[in-house]
Structure 1
Amino acid sequence: MQKIANLEAEVERLRGVVIGATEIITEIEEQPLPPIVGEDFVVPSHVVGDFVRLGRQLHREGLVHSTQGTIAMLNPDQPGVMHATRFGSALAQMTELDIISGKLGQAAPPEASNEWRIMEVLLASTSLHNGGPAACIHVHPPFSTTLSLEKDLIVLQPVDVHGKAHLGKVVIVDPDADDMDEYLRQIAEALGQGNMKCVVIRGHGVYAVGRNFTESWQWASALEHSMRIILLARQAGLRI
C-alpha cells in the first residue's frame, strides 16, 4: 500500500511539473507583440500575434519547414492594404519584423516573396467571395505536394469521410513562369472550382484561403490529412 501511495504521489508531482512547463511555454509563446505602424495603416498587436502563432502552428504540423511558406491577409480595417511575411522568413521564429505591407494593385514591397502577386489575387478573390475579410497561406505539405506530382492528375480528391464532406476536390495548376497573367487567371479559376478553399501548384505546395488565418490553416491541414490517408492506403495495398 505504501508503494502505491508513493507512486501516486510521484505521478502527482510529475503532473504538476508538466502543467508548470506548459504554462511557461504558453507564456513564452503568447508574449505581447508591438503593433506595426505604417504611413497610412496600422497592424494591431493582436494581428501581429496571429501571424506569429500561425507560423508556429504551420511548422509544428510539418506544413512548412525552414524558410518555406508565406502568410498573408488583408488589413481588417483597410481591405485595400495587404500584409504578408517577407521573403526568407522562418515562420517558426518570426517576429513583427518579418511582416511587410503593400496596397493591392500596386508594386510589391522590396522584401516581398515571389508569391506576392499570387497571394494578392487569391486575397482579392476571397475578399470578393466573403464580402470583406480574407487570409491566405502558402505551405509545402509533403503528402499533398507528392500527390500533385502525378502527371495525369488534375485534382486532389479526398477519399475519407471528413475530407469529402468538408473539403471536396482541390484543383492542381501547373506552374507557368512565362505567362504570369495567364498563370494568375488559372490559379484564381482553380480556387473557385475548389470551393474557394484551396488550390495546389504542381510540385510547389498548397495555397489555402479563408476569412481569417484559422480558416486558411484549417483547409490546408485538412487537405494534407486527407492526402496522407490516400498515400497510406496505397502503401497498404488497399483499393480506394
Structure 2
Amino acid sequence: MEQARRHARLVLELARLPVARLRFEERRNPEGIRRAHALFTRRHPRYKLIRNKTMGIALIDLSAFGGQPGGYLHLVRRSGHAGPQSRKAAARGYQLRRIDRNEHVDEIHAIHTSCEQRQGRPMDQSYLVRKERFENPPHFECHGVFDAANRLVAYCSMGRYGNFVATDQLMGYKSQDGIMYLLLAKIICRLIEEREVDYFMYDTFLGAQPGLRDFKRRVGFRPYRARYELA
C-alpha cells in the first residue's frame, strides 16, 4: 500500500512539471541522431509506463537568458555555492578548453580510474577499461578543464541534437577546487552566448542520487517533462 502511495505521489509530481519541446534534427548526423532519438524515447528501464528520457529531465532553458550569460551567473550566485565554486576554480588557475578526446586518452582513463565509487555507486566497468580510441561523430564535442600544470582534470562530452545539447559523459577528479562547477558554468555561458540552442540537458533527476540532484540544482538545472520530435 505504501509503495502504491509513493508511486501515486511521483506520478502527480511529474505531471506538474513544465514541458520542454525538444527537437532532434537528422541533418546534423542522420544515423546518429535517429539512434539517439530511439534511445531517448524507448521505454524507461525501471518505470515501464513512461519513456526513457521524458520525465524529470534535468534542463536549463538557455533561451530565457537572451544571449546574456550574466543572467545565468546571477541565478547560480543566488544558490550560494555554484557561483563561488566556479570562481574559486578559475582563481586557482583552472581553464576550460575544447578538446579532442583522442589526444587525451591516458588522461581520461586516469580520471575514470581515480575513484572506485561515485555518488555512492561503484564505477561502471565500461569506464575502467582503457579506450584505444573515442568515436567523434559530427554532432559531438568535448570540453576539458586543465589545471595550472596543464593536466586534464575534468571533461564533458556532449551532443548537439537539434534545439538542445545533452551531456554524454561528464567526469573529473574528486576535488574541493570547484572544477566541476567551472566546467559546467563555462559551457553553459558559451551556449547562452551562441544562441544556437534552447536547452542544455544533464540526464534526469529521476533516479539520481541525492548528492547528484543537489549538484544539478546548484548549477541551475530544473526538472522538466520532455516532448520530442524528429525533424
- Give the alignment's TM-score, normalised by structure 2: 0.30
TM value normalised by structure 1: 0.29
Structure of higher RCO (CA pairs closer than 8 Å, 6+ residues apart)? 2
Task: Write 1 or 2 for the structure with the bigger share of strand.
Answer: 2
Higher-Rg structure is 1
